[in-house]
Chains A and B, each alone.
Chain A
Amino acid sequence: MKLFGKEIQLQDKRRIDERTKVEKLSTFAFVLLAASFFAIPLMWLVLAPFDSDPTFRIKWPNWGLGNFSEMAENPYAYRSLMNSVIFSAGSGLAVILVGAPASYVLSRIKFAGRDAFLYILLLFSSIVTGSAAMVPLFLLSLHLNLIDTYQGVVLVLTGGLIPAAIFILKDFTDSIPKSYEESAQIFGASSFRILKDVVTPIIRPGLAVIFVWSFVQAWGNFLAPFILIRDVNKQPAAVMMYSFYNDGGQAVFRTVAAFSLIYTIPVLVMYFYVNKKYGFRFYGGIKG
């Protein structure tokens, strides 16, 4: 018989059964293989931090929490984590403060060229990446005296995150009916009142997601602080992690093990939080 213009063989039942068995087995084998591929390297992160004698190899630990106290004694470890918090929270906050008002305007106000603007913004933000723009960003920071400063890195990170944040928030705001604001207008509320009483509370979930997303992006970002920060006391965990195993041949294993886990945990927590509250499965913003 024909389906979509192509011939299909109707299989006889016996072959279907056999086929299905083989299919099932190969599917199972594939899934097992894939899961192992992803799981195995992760095992180190789960086991080594609790191993009093960690090495490169994934092995059953000699259980103990000594690595964490050793890490705590390393001045750079703790400080870099604090720096990461500053960079990430700072970026998250900046993204919301700058991006939310813009998304609101772009969602509610139709002006000539709005759609063209959004399209070009999308295009530009995909093209001008951290790698492509590292030279001018470096020079910019140099000229503005932002090298080796917290604000410099936060600004650069925020700048990179704003376009995507605006897209997602605008999409989210679009889904909120205008009748909320219109009814408040009819009641005589001023613009400020409407934004405060009606708009902000309703947009809050979107803001939370964007904050978390920005935080996580900044938390893991290596390139910006790598280029812009010289002072080792200001380096965030992303760069410090690299320094630990790159500088000096023998990695300081115990500290590295504990450090990688501590550095990873906040991100895991945030992922679970967002997933629980809002469900992760592909958020707006991705359009054909």
Chain B
Amino acid sequence: MSYVSIEKITKVFPGGVRALDELDLEIKDGEFFALLGPSGCGKTTLLRTLGGLESSTSGKISFEGKDVTFLTPGARDIAMVFQDYALYPHMNVLENISYPLKVRKFSKEEINKRVTQASEALSIQMLLDRKPGQISGGQQQRVAVARAMACTPSLYLFDEPLSNLDARLRLEARTFLKQLQRELGVTTILVTHDQSEALALADRMAVMDKGRIKQVGSPAEFFHRPANIFVASFIGSTPMNLLDGLVNDGKVSIGSMSFDIPEHASTARTGDQVVFGVRPEYVSLVSGPGSGIASGVVKVTENLGTHYLVTADCNGILVRGTAPDGSEPAMGDTVHLKPEPGRSLLYNKTSEDLY
């Protein structure tokens, strides 16, 4: 049962920019959904359209079956947390949190109850009489969330809520946000450009590029089976190996190397131009050359904590693999990199899709 239903939504800005291109998307009730993509891909436009801050050029948006496409933002029973938090500087924290409740004409007792609940849930009760300018960025963020929570909306929209926090705080806030959403059980849509954030927080997510959705699925699907080259290169904290090759007699030849065709790519035929993909985390160093093994000279090693990212030049082709801390090679060493069978992916070079 879907809570949010997006049907063929298109948004063309005056000037011709096609920010959203016939998007179809279903978001389930209660799920934490992430919209991920590079800047300009349309994710924020989609979020704002869902919120009613932008009108769509064509298409339909429904919340729980009800058509909301032409409803004003205030009528949609939603709450939004903006990237800059939008806390009113002339009101203190208490007034900020109670403002939407006042607008919606809740009774004084009800307002008090909700404000108390929300501020306790976010541990900001002691800040109620301060002004936004007097509290830290992390606290401001929590106030913004509390304000959204107090309205008990049916849908939460978060526009890059963690980007303005510094790195350490961001990780803490991330965990907090996930837990909160679990407890509240309300459908939440979050926009971010940080793929690790999306992978960590979302139940399901969508990657967008140039106004289109490139893939929808769970974080695990994204990590293990990115559906096209764009998604493959976007997801993952280490850059994925994406090597141009040719299908030849049941094997993929890349330069002088040759690899087995991955099991999923049964429709690949000899002569097909392909891109062979495998995550460096699934490429390990072995003792000697062989079939299905790339041999080359180490150009760079990067320390990632528990292991090293090794970039090797294999006859002009750069291949990346990982070596556990303690067994990393030195620059200039000859190494042999073997992708783990079952972890490699094959993409058609022309369509850019997974076979």
Q: Which residue of B lies closest to A194 (CB)?
A: B103
Provide the residues of chain A in CB contact with B82, threshold 8 Å.
179, 182-183
Of the candidate stretches A86-94, A142-150, A195-203, the one touching chain B is A195-203
Q: A113 interface residue, CB < 8 Å from B?
A: no
Provide the residues of chain A in CB contact with B73, threshold 8 Å.
182, 185-186, 188
- Determine if B84 and A185 form an interchain contact, defined as CB atoms under 8 angstroms apart: no
For A180, give its contact among B78, B88, B100, B104 (CB under 8 Å).
B88
For B103, give its contact among A179, A182, A189 (CB under 8 Å).
A189
Cα separation A265 to B235 with both chains bound (whole Å)? 67
- Determine if B53 and A198 form an interchain contact, defined as CB atoms under 8 angstroms apart: no
- Determine if A182 and B86 form an interchain contact, defined as CB atoms under 8 angstroms apart: yes
For B84, give its contact among A179, A186, A187 (CB under 8 Å).
A179
Contact with A along B15-54 (1 / 0, CB 8 A): 0000000000000000000000000000000000001110
For A188, give its contact among B74, B84, B89, B90 (CB under 8 Å).
B74
Cα separation A193 to B103 with both chains bound (whole Å)? 8
- Determine if A187 and B86 form an interchain contact, defined as CB atoms under 8 angstroms apart: no
Provide the residues of chain B in CB contact with A184, threshold 8 Å.
99, 103
Provide the residues of chain B in CB contact with A202, threshold 8 Å.
88-90
Q: A5 interface residue, CB < 8 Å from B?
A: no
Cα separation A193 to B88 with both chains bound (whole Å)? 14
- Determine if A186 and B80 form an interchain contact, defined as CB atoms under 8 angstroms apart: yes
Q: Which residue of B lies closest to A180 (CB)?
A: B86
Q: A177 interface residue, CB < 8 Å from B?
A: yes
Range class of the A interface residue count: 10 to 19
Q: Which residue of A lies closest to B101 (CB)?
A: A187
- Determine if B90 and A186 form an interchain contact, defined as CB atoms under 8 angstroms apart: no
Q: Which residue of B lies closest to A183 (CB)?
A: B86
Cα separation A184 to B82 with both chains bound (whole Å)? 12
A76 to chain B, nearest CB (A): 45
Provide the residues of chain A in CB contact with B83, threshold 8 Å.
179
Known: A182-B53, A182-B82, A198-B88. A187 touches B99 (CB 8 A): yes
- Determine if A187 and B90 form an interchain contact, defined as CB atoms under 8 angstroms apart: no
B128 to chain A, nearest CB (A): 19
Contact with B along A32-73 (1 / 0, CB 8 A): 000000000000000000000000000000000000000000
A136 to chain B, nearest CB (A): 39
19 A-B interface contacts by CB (under 8 A): A177-B84, A179-B83, A180-B88, A182-B53, A182-B80, A182-B82, A183-B80, A183-B82, A185-B74, A186-B52, A186-B53, A186-B76, A186-B78, A187-B79, A187-B103, A187-B104, A201-B88, A202-B88, A202-B89
Instruction: Give the 9 A-B CB pairs with smallest separation, nearest first.
Output: A188-B74, A187-B100, A179-B86, A183-B86, A201-B90, A179-B82, A186-B73, A189-B103, A185-B73
Besides A185-B52, A198-B88, 6 other A-B contacts (C-beta < 8 A): A182-B86, A185-B73, A188-B75, A197-B88, A202-B88, A202-B89
